[in-house]
Amino acid sequence: MDRRAFTMALVSAAASSLAGCASGGGSRQGGRTVFYQSVGDQLTQWDVDVDELTLTRRGSMALPSNVQYVWPHPSR
């Protein structure tokens, strides 16, 4: 992945997470909003600070294959 593709992936992830937060679609864990990003076989968790408009990377893991899509479980 080159620098331009990485930047576009990061920008689109940030934009979609902030749009999800504005619409109430973000996942909530312990009173905070989190966002999950998948690039190839890497799944990354980000904390979203809506007031400061920032993402903070919390962790990442390599999976056996690419993640196509995910959604929160109804029980959260």
Whole-prediction pTM: 0.51
pLDDT band at 1 (very low <50, low <70, confident <90, very high): low
**Would you state the structure tokens that stand for residue 24, as one six-digit string?**
């109430």
CA distances 54 to 23, 36, 41, 62, Å, are 17, 14, 24, 24
For the cut 60, the answer to whether the pLDDT of residue 17 exceeds it is no
19, 25, 18, 22: which is closest to 54 by C-alpha? 18
